Structure 1
Amino acid sequence: MRVGGWEKRLKAAVERHRDLPGQWDVSDCWVLARDACKAVTGKDLAPHLRGYKTEKAGYRLFARHGFKTVGEALAAHLPECPVLMAQRGDLGVVERGGLESCGVVTATGVAVKTLYDDGTAQLEYHPVTALTRAFKVS
């Protein structure tokens, strides 16, 4: 259930990740999705999927819990919905270069925190049509 005032909390969560430097388990695509879910529902999404310091460690942590991708992890915790039915505050998956990243649907598009191999990071926006899967946050 969405809690009162979620819109302002969601905007603040996205803006916080826009301003934070990229860091695994601090500000990456998974943490943005978790923070967005908490902003909308007041509940922590998959608290057991925390504590990684590198991308490789993140994949190992997800694998220990039976997930190969962020999409699998989202599907285990949230109901899937048709991509074009995703609304502001819902979570989704975009695929880039053969890898999945997760993000949150905003009024501007799907916000995804991307960390690059060269050490840079950026909050990127993709059109909702770029989603390969979507998940209802309610």
Structure 2
Amino acid sequence: MRAPDWEDRLATYLDRVAEEPFAWGSNDCALFASGGIRAMTGVDPGADFRGAYDTRQGSAEALRTFGEGTLLKTTTAWLGNSKHVSQAKRGDVVMKDRHTLGICVGLHSLFVGEEHGHHGTVYVPTADCTRAFTIPFDAPSDGEDR
């Protein structure tokens, strides 16, 4: 569940990684998204993946070994079923295609990559993404046990 100060925690994380270049096994799309989830919730769903590979082929093997076989199936296992990208909100994990994860920051989403010589996070219109996954909020408590 998202921490009460999740927005500040997410902003701090995104600032920290803004200039980090893409690197398989340490700062690829899945681990970037997992780091955002960790910042907002304190739980790192990608912990088993970190440092376990350093190539594209290694990432596919890691998805089979530590995940559910594909990035989509693994992300669904982490966060539950996706929703239409038009419902994406700040802090949601988004998928640009079946192979790329990012973090929604509003009308744009951040992905790890390179653009115009800049290595680090790059902005992509959220509308160009294909799926969104919600990181749950704590349910408001009314004092009753359910």
TM-score normalised by L of structure 2: 0.79
1:93, distance to aligned residue in structure 2 (A):
0.5
Given the superposition, is the C-alpha separation of residues 29 and 115 from structure 1 closer, same or farther in structure 2, using an over 3 Å criterion?
farther
Partner of 1:3: 3
Given the superposition, is the C-alpha separation of residues 25 and 16 from structure 1 closer, same or farther in structure 2, using an over 3 Å criterion?
farther
Partner of 1:134: 132
Residues 17, 121 of structure 2: 8 Å contact kept: yes
Matches of 2:111 and 2:27 in 1, distance apart? Answer: 10
Given the superposition, is the C-alpha separation of residues 115 and 29 from structure 1 closer, same or farther in structure 2, using an over 3 Å criterion?
farther
Moved more, 107-116 or 127-136: 107-116
1:111, distance to aligned residue in structure 2 (A):
0.5
Partner of 2:122: 124
Asked if 1:110 corresponds to 2:109, the answer is yes
Q: What does the per-residue CA deviation read over 1:7-53, in whole Å, with 9 as the maximum and x for residues that have no partner? A: 11111211222122332222221111011101111211142333212
Given the superposition, is the C-alpha separation of residues 17 and 46 from structure 1 closer, same or farther in structure 2, using an over 3 Å criterion?
same
1:115, distance to aligned residue in structure 2 (A):
6.5
TM-score normalised by L of structure 1: 0.83
1:126, distance to aligned residue in structure 2 (A):
1.1
Matches of 1:18 and 1:87 in 2, distance apart? Answer: 20
Selected match of 2:96 from 94, 97, 107: 94
Correspondence 1:1-138 to 2 at 5 A? 1-50=1-50, 51-64=52-65, 65-68=67-70, 70-79=71-80, 80-95=82-97, 100-107=99-106, 109-114=108-113, 121-138=119-136
1:121, distance to aligned residue in structure 2 (A):
3.8
In structure 1, runs of 5+ residues without a counterpart are: none
Matches of 1:13 and 1:25 in 2, distance apart? Answer: 18
**Larger radius of gyration between Structure 1 and Structure 2:** 2
The alignment-based identity, stated in percent, is: 25
Residues 78, 135 of structure 1: 8 Å contact kept: yes
Q: What does the per-residue CA deviation read over 1:36-88, in whole Å, with 9 as the maximum and x for residues that have no partner? A: 101111211142333212221111110234322x2221111112222111111
